[in-house]
Amino acid sequence: AMTVPDVLKLKSRIDYLRTNANLPGVERSLKGEVLDLCDDVDGKIRTVLNANEDRLIQEIDVVVDRIRATLDGFTKSREMEEWVIIDYPQIVDQITMQMKLASLQQTKLQEHGVKAIEKVTRLKREYEKKFREQYDTVQANVAEGIGSQVKTAELLIAQLMEDFSAKVERREFADKDQINLWVDAHPLSRNIEDVISTIEDHDPEKAHALSMKLKIGIAALKSQSKRNMEKKAEVSTGKNQVPFGNFMFNVWEAKAEKLSVNVVLDFKVDDATKGAGVKPNDYMCELVFKTKDKSGSVKEVPLSLEEVRKYGLSNPRLLGDFEFGKTYMTVGEAKKIIAKVKDMNFGLMPDVQAKYEEFQANIRAMHVKIKESAKEWQEADGKFPGIVEAARLKGPGSIWATLLSDRRAMIKQYHEFLDKEGLYVWQKMRSFKEGIINGKMKNGSQGKIPKMSDNPHWTLDEETEQNLEDFATNAKMSLDLRDGMISLEGHAGTGKDVLVSIFCAKTQRPKYTFDCSKWTTEFDLSQDVSLAADGGASYTVKEDSVIVKALETPGAVLYFNEFNAMPQQAQMFLHSLFDEKRQITLKTSQGRIVKAHPSVIICSSMNPDYPETYKPQFATRSRMIPIKVGYPKFKKEDGTFGTSEALRTARSIRSLEDFTIGDISENEFVDMWNAYINRGDETNPLLTPTRKFDIEVIFALLTFGNEIREAFIKGIDGSNTGPDDFTISQPFTMREMRRCAWLLNNMSPSEKEDIGKAEETARKFIRRVYSSYIFNGEEARSLEEKLTGWSTKKPTTVPVAPAVPPTTP
In the chain, where are the structural domains located?
52-230, 262-442, 452-628, 644-789
3-class DSSP assignment, residue 533: strand
Mean pLDDT value across residues 579-591: 82
pLDDT at 600 over 80: yes
Per-residue model confidence (pLDDT) at position 323? 47
Q: Which residues pair with 330 in a beta bridge?
A: 284
Axis-axis angle for helices 88-101, 107-169 (nearest 10): 170
Q: Share the mean pLDDT of the chain.
A: 80
CA atoms within 13 A on the CB side of 85: 6
Per-residue model confidence (pLDDT) at position 145? 61
- How many angstroms from the chain centroid is the CA of residue 475? 34
Alpha helical stretches, state H, 382-398: 387-394
Mean pLDDT value across residues 709-737: 83
Q: Which residues pair with 679 in a beta bridge?
A: none
Identify the band that residue 165 occupies on the pLDDT scale cut at 50, 70 and 90.
confident
Has domain 452-628 been given CATH number 3.10.20.340? no
Q: How many Å apart are CA 733 and CA 705, to the nearest integer?
A: 8
pTM exceeds 0.85? no
Highest mean pLDDT among 373-382, 708-717, 721-730: 708-717
Amino acid letter at 363? Answer: I
Per-residue model confidence (pLDDT) at position 128? 81
- How many angstroms from the chain centroid is the CA of residue 197? 14
**Left (φ > 0), alpha (ψ -120 to 50) or beta: where does 422 sit?**
left
Dump pLDDT digits (tens) for 605-640.
999 888 889 999 999 999 999 999 999 999 988 889
CA dist 604 → 59, 431, 629 (Å): 83, 35, 12
Q: How many Å apart are CA 334 and CA 312, to the nearest integer?
A: 22
Per-residue model confidence (pLDDT) at position 797? 55
Q: How many CB atoms sit inside 10 A of residue 699's CB?
A: 23
Per-residue model confidence (pLDDT) at position 170? 77
CA atoms within 13 A on the CB side of 470: 18
Identify the band that residue 792 occupies on the pLDDT scale cut at 50, 70 and 90.
very high
**At 321, which helix (H) or strand (E)?**
none
Mean pLDDT value across residues 308-336: 57
Q: How many CB atoms sit inside 10 A of residue 131's CB?
A: 22
Mean pLDDT value across residues 370-375: 80
Dump pLDDT digits (tens) for 493-524.
899 999 999 999 999 899 999 999 998 888 88
Strands 485-489 and 624-628: what pairing?
A: parallel
Identify the band that residue 602 occupies on the pLDDT scale cut at 50, 70 and 90.
very high
How large a percentage of the chain has pLDDT more than 70?
A: 79
